[in-house]
Structures are given as structure tokens and as C-alpha cells.
Amino acid sequence: MKAHVALSESDRAGFGPELPAVVENLLNEAVATPGQPNRAEAILWSAQAMFPECLPVYFALYKFYFHKARLHEAERATRLGLAQAARQGGFSSDWHCLTQATVDWTDTRGPQHFYLFGLKALSFICLRLGRHSESHAILSKLAQIDPDDSVGASVIRDLAAASQDREPVQPLGPGR
């Protein structure tokens, strides 16, 4: 489970200020519960409830759910993180309304960078759920507001293009 919840130094660096020690401890506790996904999930939601402004917690939540093949829950956690990042950044959480001029999207230390990562995750989740049109629309928006591809959305764009005419791509379940 460690690889599915833990945040690397590069993840942390791109998501704003340093984690509060209590959040770090909760994330480490969630990681330390292999074979106890219900406990890890409860710990992650506790961290979110105590520190709803802490963006890396949303990242850990959507990673946790995605790797458990719980895509609808991953989508929910991603959307919650997007809303929080937009609040912190002072811009609309509705990605349809965003333009390159909305905010300085090149600032990799601000909440807008987390927002870009969240949009990339949402596009992949939509793709996995078979919602190709939504995935493509999000990827088009990412290309518009992040033309330098700072979050690597082109990887998902290539995957989406390759799977455009195929059946919905379903993730492998745990242990496969």
C-alpha cells in the first residue's frame, strides 16, 4: 500500500507549503496499515476532516481509491481537491470557465499547480470510466491552460487517443 498513498518529495514540493507534522503522521499511519484498507481510508478521511485546506491529503485520497479500482470514489476525492485548490487560488472550480489568463498556471508552488494535477487525474479517471468525451474535453482544457504540459497531461492525451474507439478501459483490481 505504501506506493499507493505515500507522497514523494516531488509530490509534496508541487502541492504547496510543507505538510503539518500531524498530517505527515496521519499519512504515514495510513501507509503503515497494509491489508487494512478500511483503516487506511478512515485515517485519510480523518486527515481531510482535520485539515481540509491540505491539498496533499486529497492527492493521497484519490491515489488510494484509484489503486483500489474504486474509480467513483477516486473521482469524488479528486473533485473535492479541485474545489479546495480553486478556493485557495481564488479562481473558479469549474474548469470549463478557466483560461490561460485566469491565474499564473506556471507557478508550481501554488494551488493552481495542484489544480492542474487534479484535472489530469480527473481526465484519466473519466477515461477509465469510459467517459471519453469528458476526458477529451478536460485534456483540451489542460492543453489550453498548461501549454508547456507541466503536469504531463500529454501522456493521458496519448492514451485517450489510442483508446478512442475501444471499449471502456477498466483498471485491474487489487492483486492482478
What are the pLDDT digits (tens) for 95-149?
999 999 999 999 999 999 999 999 999 999 999 999 999 999 999 999 999 999 9
Give the integer Cα–Cα distance in Å for 135 and 141: 10
In sequence order, what are the residues at sequence separation of 6 or more whose Cβ sits closer than 8 angstroms to the Cβ of residue 11?
Answer: 56, 59
Domain-located, residue 173: no
The number of domains in the chain is 1
Name the average pLDDT for the chain: 88
Q: How far is it, in rounded angstroms, from Cα 112 to Cα 14? A: 10
pTM (2 d.p.): 0.85
Would residue 27 count as lying in a domain? yes
CATH code for the domain of 20: 1.25.40
Element housing 5 (H / E):
helix 2-5
Q: Is 63 a domain residue?
A: yes
Give domain status of residue 174, yes or no.
Answer: no
136 is a domain residue: yes
Domain assignment of residue 176, yes or no: no
> Of 81, 61, 86, whose CA–CA distance to 71 is shortest?
61
Residues in the chain: 176
Q: 63 lies in which domain range?
A: 2-162
Helices (H) and strands (E) in the chain, counts: 9, 0
In a domain, 167, yes or no: no
Alpha carbon of 146 to those of 20, 39, 64, 102, 151: distances in Å?
Answer: 29, 37, 26, 12, 8
Rounded to whole angstroms, how far apart are CA atoms 54 and 47? 9
The model's pLDDT over 75-100, given as tens digits with 9 standing for 90+, comes to: 999 999 999 999 999 999 999 999 99
- Report the alpha-carbon distance of residue 115 to residue 4 in Å, rounded: 20
